[in-house]
Amino acid sequence: MLFTNDTIGALFEKQVRKDPEREFMVYPDRNLRLTYKEFDDRVNMLAKGLLEIGITKGDHVGIWAKNVPDWLTFMFATAKIGAVLVTVNTAYKSHELAYVLKQSDMKALAIIDGFRDTNYIDILYELVPELKTCQRGCLNSSEFPFLKSVIYVGQEKHRGMYNTNELMLLGKHNPDDELLRIKKELNCDDVINMQYTSGTTGFPKGVMLTHKNILNNGFYIGDRQKFTEEDRLCITVPLFHCFGIVLAVMAILTHGGTMVMVELFDPLLVLAAVQKEKCTALYGVPTMFIAEYSHPMFEMFDLSSLRTGIMAGSTPPIEVMKKVVKDMYMTGITSVYGLTEGSPGFTQTSIDDSLEKRVKTVGRKLPECEVKLVDPETGETLGPGEIGEICCKGYNVMKGYYKMPEKTKEVIDEDGWLHSGDLATVDEEGYYSIVGRIKEMIIRGGENIYPREIEEFLYTMPGINDAQVIGIPDEKYGEIVGAFVIPKEGYDIREEDVRDFALDKIARYKVPKHVFVVKEFPMTASGKIQKFKLTELAVELLKKENEIL
C-alpha cells in the first residue's frame, strides 16, 4: 500500500500541525533557520502572491537558481496552487534556456543573478528584449508567447521583473479564500514538477511528475535509511535534480526531519555544516565525497554524528564507498538506482544490508513498484545471473514527456513498464547490479549528457561538416565529453576553435573537453558510425599526447 495519497501541500501542513516548532530548513553558513510553521507561513504568502499576478493551477513556473533559500519556497508555493514547477539546470546558457522556455510553455520564470560565469539577467534581456519596456506581468514576447512574468529571487529591482519581496507583500495583504479554494481542487495525480532530461534520444524532454510520484518515492528512500523526525540531512546536491527534490527534500518531509542546506557545493562548507549542525545523513555524487575526505582540513572536523546517506548520480566506486564508511562514520550509507522518469528510484540498498551488498550492488527494488530485467531484443523476461535491460512499473513511473507522446511510447510500453536503457543483472536475493548502458548517454560526475544534443549544436558552427560526440573514461568524473569533427572543405578548424564556440552557448559540463579533427569516421559495412571505435581512438590519441608531453 502506498505511503500517501496526499498532495505535497496537504502533507506538509500535516507535519506543521504535528510539530510546528521543529526546524525544517537550516542554512548554517548564514545562520538562517526556519521551523515547519515559519516556512509554511512564507510558502502561503508566496502562493497568494503568485495567484495575485495570474499564476494558477496548471500553469508552468520555471526556477533558474542554485540552492538559495527561496528555491524551496517556490517549490512548495507552486505545489499548493497546483502550478507546475519547471526546474532549470543552473549550468544552462542562452541556447538551452531558450529551448526550455519555449518547449515547456513557461508562463513565469524565477531567476537569481547568475551562476559562475553566466549572467542570468543579461541572458533574459537578450532572449526577451521586451522585458525592458513592458509592465511587470504583462510581457508580450514574440519569441516566447506563453511567458508573461519574470521574478527576481531577491530584493533588488530589475526592469520588467517582480521580486520575491513584492510577491510576499502582495500575498500578505490578500485573503486566503482563493488559496483555500484551489487547494480543495488539487489531486495527488496532478503534475506539479517538470524536470528536463536528455533521456534516451535527442533534445531534452520535460518529465512530468506528480505529487504521488515524488512524495511516495521520497518516503521509501528515507525509509531505507531509517529516517525519523530526529534526522538532520545535509543537502549538497542541486535542487533542480531528482536527487535534490525527491531523494533529499521529499525523504525529509515525509519523515518530519530537518534539512541542512549548502547553497553551492564546497567540501569545506559541507564538512563545517555536518559538524555544526550534527547532521546524521549526507548525500552526494562520488566526486563530492572524494573532495570531502581528500580535503587537507578533513581531519579537523568531527563527523561522528553521521550514520547514513546516499551516494548516487553515477555508479559508486567500491573503494570510495569503503573510505566513506571507514573515515566518515557513514556505516549505513546507501546507493539508489533510477532515472528521472521513475521519480527517480527503482532500487536502493538498505542501512541493514551487508557492506559487500552496499558497495557492489544498487540494492533491491523499492516497495510498491515492480522491477524486472528483459532481453533488449526480444523483450523476454530474464532471470538471476542474466544481463538484461532493467525496467520498472508502478506508482513512480512519470505521467509522460510534455508534448511528446511518441517519445513517451518509446520508453513506456503498452503494459506500463518504463524501459531504462541500462543493462543490469540480479542475484538470487533480488539485488541488482548495473553493468552498462544500451543508450549512448555520457554521465559526467552525475550529469547526464546526450551526445546527439551536442552534435546538433556543433552542426551550427560554421565550417563543421560532421560531428560525433562520445564519452571518454576519466578518473575524476567517470566520463568526459569528446568530439570528433570533420571540417568543411577550405576550413582550418582547431580544437580551441570548437571549444571557444561552445563555451558561451552551452553549459560548461557539455563542452567537449577534447576535440579531434579527422577526415572520416569508422563505419560498419551498412554505413553506421562505430562510436565505440571513436572512444578507443580518443583514449589512444590522449595517451600519445601525454607521452609526448
For the chain, 549 residues long, give each residue's pLDDT as a single digit of tens: 899 999 999 999 999 999 999 999 999 999 999 999 999 999 999 999 999 999 999 999 999 999 999 999 999 999 999 999 999 999 899 999 999 999 999 999 999 999 999 999 999 999 999 999 999 989 999 999 999 999 999 999 999 999 999 999 999 999 999 999 999 999 999 999 999 986 434 578 999 999 999 999 999 999 999 999 999 999 999 999 999 999 999 999 999 999 999 999 999 999 999 999 999 999 998 889 989 999 999 999 999 999 999 998 767 778 889 899 999 999 999 999 999 999 999 999 999 999 999 988 999 999 999 999 999 889 999 999 998 999 999 999 999 999 999 999 999 999 999 999 988 999 999 999 988 777 777 889 988 787 878 988 998 899 998 889 999 999 899 999 999 999 988 999 999 999 999 998 999 999 999 999 999 888 755 456 788 889 999 999 999 888 765
- 226, 13 Cβ separation under 8 angstroms: no
Residue 216: what pLDDT? 98
Question: Residue 209: beta bridge partners?
Answer: 193
User: What's the pLDDT at 527?
Assistant: 58
Instruction: Please name the helix (run of DSSP H) or strand (run of DSSP E) that holds residue 46, with its range, or none.
Output: helix 36-52
pLDDT score, position 369: 97
Cell of 102: 519555449
pLDDT for res 281: 98
Domains in the chain with CATH codes: 8-264 (3.40.50.12780), 335-437 (2.30.38.10), 444-548 (3.30.300.30)
| Closest residue by Cα to residue 154 from 65, 236, 86, 45 | 65
**Residue-level pLDDT at 531:** 85
Residue 74: half-sphere exposure toward Cβ, Cα within 13 Å = 34
pLDDT at 548: 66
pLDDT at residue 83, as a whole number: 98
3-class DSSP state for residue 134?
A: coil
Whole-model pTM over 0.85: yes
pLDDT of residue 37: 98
Neighbours of 195 (CB within 10 A): 25
Cell numbers given for 194: 517538470
Please list the helix, strand and coil fractions of the chain in percent, rounded to the nearest 5, in that order. 35, 25, 40
What is the per-residue pLDDT for 337?
Answer: 95
Q: What is the DSSP string of 398-458?
A: -SEETT-HHHHHHHB-TTSPEEEEEEEEE-TTS-EEEEEESS--EEETTEEE-HHHHHHHH
Angle formed by the axes of helices 69-80 and 177-185, nearest 10°: 70
Residues facing 118 on adjacent strands: 115
| Helix-helix angle 211-223:8-18, to 10 degrees | 50
CB neighbour burial string for 111-128, b if at least 16 within 10 angstroms, e if fewer = bbebbeebebbebbbebb
